[in-house]
C-alpha cells in the first residue's frame, strides 16, 4: 500500500460490505443478536441463509442495509432447475441480490457450456436483481478460475466472487487478478473468505474489488474509525477521497 494514500470514507467501505451470517448451526437468537449489533454500522448488505431472508428483512426494516442470500450453497451441485426455484423463492421472500455457487465439478470437467447455461438460468430468474457467481477458488487453478470468471461474465453475472468460506481457502490477491483479467470489465469483483482485517480489505480495494464478504465487519469498521481519529496509516484522512 502507498503510505501517502488517504483512507477511503467510512461510507465507501461500509457500502461495499456484505456481512455473512451463513453458518448452518446459527440459532434464531444468535442471528437476531448479530443483526442488532450490526444495525448502527449502516453496511451495504446482510448475506443470510435463504430461510432467514424474511425474518432479517423484518429485523432490518428501519435501516438501509439490503438483505441478500445464497443459492446452491455451499457446494453448487444442485441442478439448474433447483437453483432457479431457490432464486425465485428467495426474491419472493425479499432478497435484494443472489450469490450463487458455480458447479465446480462441471467447471473442472471442462463443461463450460453447461456451467454458462447454469449461471444464465439463475441470472434470468433473478433479473433485474444482480447475481454474484461464487467460483470457490480453493478448488481451482489459475486456468479454471479464468474459465469460470469468463463463463460468469458471458452469462450476465454482475459479479464474480472468490469463495463460500466453507470449502477451504479464501480470497487471494493472485486469484483476484486472474478474475479481473478474465471478466475484462464485464463483471465486478467480490472478495470473500478470510477477509478479517482492514488492511486486507484496502489492499483488495486498490486492486479493484468492489464488494467484500466478511464476518469481521465490526472489527474492520471499528479499525477504520480508529484510524480516522488518530491519522494512523495511509497518510492523512480525506473524507472526500474515493
Per residue of the chain (242 residues), give pLDDT as tens: 444 478 999 999 999 999 999 999 999 999 999 999 999 999 999 999 999 999 999 999 999 999 999 999 999 999 999 999 999 999 999 999 999 999 999 999 999 999 999 999 999 999 999 999 999 999 999 999 999 999 999 999 999 999 999 988 889 999 999 999 999 999 999 999 999 999 999 999 999 999 999 999 999 999 999 999 998 765 433 433 33
* φ and ψ at residue 85, rounded to 5 degrees: -60, -40
CA distances from 125 to 47, 68, 70, 100 (A): 19, 15, 14, 12
CA distance 142 to 152: 15
Sequence-ordered alpha helix ranges (H) in the chain: 10-15, 28-38, 53-59, 80-92, 104-108, 112-126, 142-154, 173-183, 198-207, 217-230
CA distance 26 to 41: 21
Length of the chain: 242
Distance from the first to the final alpha carbon of the chain: 15
CA distances from 219 to 34, 38, 196, 224 (A): 13, 11, 8, 9
Q: Any idea of the CA torsion for 205, 102, 214, 238, to the nearest 10 degrees?
A: 20
Catalytic machinery residues: 99, 161, 190
Neighbours of 109 (CB within 10 A): 11
Grid coordinates of 99: 450469490
Considering the four listed CATH numbers 1.10.287.1770, 3.30.1330.10, 3.40.50.300, 3.20.20.70, the one that applies to the domain covering 10-228 is: 3.20.20.70
Q: Kindly report whether the peptide bond that precedes residue 189 is cis, defined as omega within 30 degrees of 0.
A: no
101 within 8 A of 62, measured Cβ to Cβ: no
Partners of 17 in beta bridges: 212
Amino acid at each position: 500500500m502507498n503510505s501517502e494514500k488517504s483512507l477511503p470514507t467510512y461510507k465507501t467501505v461500509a457500502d461495499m460490505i456484505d456481512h455473512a451470517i451463513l453458518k448452518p448451526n446459527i440459532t434464531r437468537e444468535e442471528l437476531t443478536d448479530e443483526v442488532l449489533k450490526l444495525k448502527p454500522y449502516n453496511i451495504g448488505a446482510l448475506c443470510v441463509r435463504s430461510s432467514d431472508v424474511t425474518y432479517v428483512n423484518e429485523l432490518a426494516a428501519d435501516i438501509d442495509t439490503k438483505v441478500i442470500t445464497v443459492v446452491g450453497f455451499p457446494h453448487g451441485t444442485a441442478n439448474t432447475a433447483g437453483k432457479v426455484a431457490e432464486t425465485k423463492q428467495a426474491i419472493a421472500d425479499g432478497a435484494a441480490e443472489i450469490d450463487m455457487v458455480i458447479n465446480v465439478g462441471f467447471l473442472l470437467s471442462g463443461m463450460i457450456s453447461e456451467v454458462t447455461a447454469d449461471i444464465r438460468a439463475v441470472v434470468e430468474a433473478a433479473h433485474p436483481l444482480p447475481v454474484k457467481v461464487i467460483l470457490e477458488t480453493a478448488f481451482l487453478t489459475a486456468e479454471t478460475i479464468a474459465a469460470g470468471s469468463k463463463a460468469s461474465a458471458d452469462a450476465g453475472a454482475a459479479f464474480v466472487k472468490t469463495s463460500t468460506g466453507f470449502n477451504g481457502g479464501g480470497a487471494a490477491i493472485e486469484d483476484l487478478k486472474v478474475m479481473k483479467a478474465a471478466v475484462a470489465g464485464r463483471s465486478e469483483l467480490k472478495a470473500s473468505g478470510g477477509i478479517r482485517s482492514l488492511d486486507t480489505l484496502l489492499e483488495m480495494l486498490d486492486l479493484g474489488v468492489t464488494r467484500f464478504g466478511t464476518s469481521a465487519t465490526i472489527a474492520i469498521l471499528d479499525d477504520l474509525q480508529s484510524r480516522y481519529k488518530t491519522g494512523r496509516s495511509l497518510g492523512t484522512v480525506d473524507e472526500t477521497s474515493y
